[in-house]
Amino acid sequence: MSWFVKKRQQKTAVEEKTVRVPEGLWIKCEACKELIYRKELVNTHNVCPKCGYHFRIGVEERLENLMDEGWTTLFSELRSGDPLGFVSTKSYKDQLKKLEQAGETEDAVVVVEGTLSGQPVVTAVMNFDFLAASMGSVVGEKLRLGAERALEKQCPYLIVSCSGGARMQEGTLSLMQMAKVSAALAKLDKAGLPYLSILTDPTTGGVSASYAMLGDLNIAEPKALIGFAGPRVIEQTIKQSLPEGFQRSEFLQTHGMVDKVVTRDHLKDFIAACLAWMTPSPRD
Partner 1 sequence: MKDATPEQAMDLSQLEKPVLELEAQIRAMEMDPSQSKEREKLEKKLEKLKAELFTNLTDWQRAQLARHPKRPYTLDYLERICERFEELHGDRRFGDDAAIVAGMGWIEGNPVMVIGQQKGRDTKQKILRNFGMPKPEGYRKALRLMKLAEKFQRPVLCLIDTPGAYPGVDAEERGQAEAIARNLLEMAKLEVPVVAVVLGEGGSGGALALGVADRVLMMENAIYSVISPEGCASILWKDASQAPKAAAALKLTAPHLLELGIIDGIVKEPLGGAHSNFDAAAAALKEAVVEAFSELSELSAEQLVEERYQKFARMGSVG
Binding region for partner 1 (CB under 8 A): 2-9, 11, 189, 192, 194, 213, 216-217, 253-260, 270, 273-274, 276-280
Q: Is 24 exposed, middle or buried (0-12, 13-18, 19+ CB in 10 A)?
A: exposed
The answer for 245, left when phi > 0, alpha when psi is -120 to 50, beta otherwise, is left
Of 24 and 192, nearer to Zn ion (C-beta) is 24
Instruction: Give me the least distance between CB of 42 and Zn ion, in Å please.
Output: 16
Instruction: Give me the least distance between CB of 162 and Zn ion, in Å please.
Output: 19
With contacts defined by CB under 5 A, name the span among 6-14, 49-57, 64-72, 273-281 that binds Zn ion. 49-57
Indicate the DSSP class of residue 87.
B
Q: Among Zn ion, partner 1, none, what does residue 258 contact (CB within 5–8 Å per kind)?
A: partner 1
By CB under 5 A, tell whether 53 contacts Zn ion: yes
Is residue 220 within 8 Å of residue 190, measured between CB atoms?
no
Instruction: Give me the least distance between CB of 7 and Zn ion, in Å please.
Output: 45
By CB under 5 A, tell whether 48 contacts Zn ion: yes
Instruction: Give me the least distance between CB of 27 and Zn ion, in Å please.
Output: 10
Instruction: Give me the least distance between CB of 30 and Zn ion, in Å please.
Output: 7
With contacts defined by CB under 5 A, name the span among 40-48, 79-87, 157-165, 244-252 that binds Zn ion. 40-48
Of 7 and 33, nearer to Zn ion (C-beta) is 33
**Terminal Cα distance for the chain, rounded:** 8
How many residues belong to the site for Zn ion (CB under 5 A)?
Answer: 7
With contacts defined by CB under 5 A, name the span among 47-55, 70-78, 140-148, 202-210 that binds Zn ion. 47-55
Of 47 and 188, nearer to Zn ion (C-beta) is 47
Cα separation, 277 vs 117, whole angstroms? 13
Three-class secondary structure assignment of 200-225: EEEEEHHHHCCHHHCCCEEEECCCCE
Q: Beta strands 26-28 and 35-37: pairing type?
A: antiparallel
Give the other-Cβ count within 10 Å of 282's Cβ. 4
Instruction: Give me the least distance between CB of 136 and partner 1, in Å please.
Output: 28
Peptide bond into 194 cis (omega under 30): no
By CB under 5 A, tell whether 84 contacts Zn ion: no
Q: Among Zn ion, partner 1, none, what does residue 32 contact (CB within 5–8 Å per kind)?
A: Zn ion
Q: Among Zn ion, partner 1, none, what does residue 173 contact (CB within 5–8 Å per kind)?
A: none
Instruction: Give me the least distance between CB of 28 and Zn ion, in Å please.
Output: 9
Q: Using a CB cutoff of 8 Å and minimum separation of 24, what contacts does 248-254 make?
A: 248/223, 248/224, 249/199, 249/220, 249/221, 249/222, 249/223, 249/224, 250/222, 250/223, 252/218, 252/220, 252/226, 253/220
List all residues 6 or more positions away from 250 whose beta carbon is below 8 Å from its beta carbon.
222, 223, 261
Q: Among partner 1, Zn ion, none, what does residue 254 contact (CB within 5–8 Å per kind)?
A: partner 1
Of 29 and 125, nearer to Zn ion (C-beta) is 29
Query: Would you tell me which residues interact with Zn ion (CB under 5 A)?
Result: 29, 31-32, 48, 50-51, 53
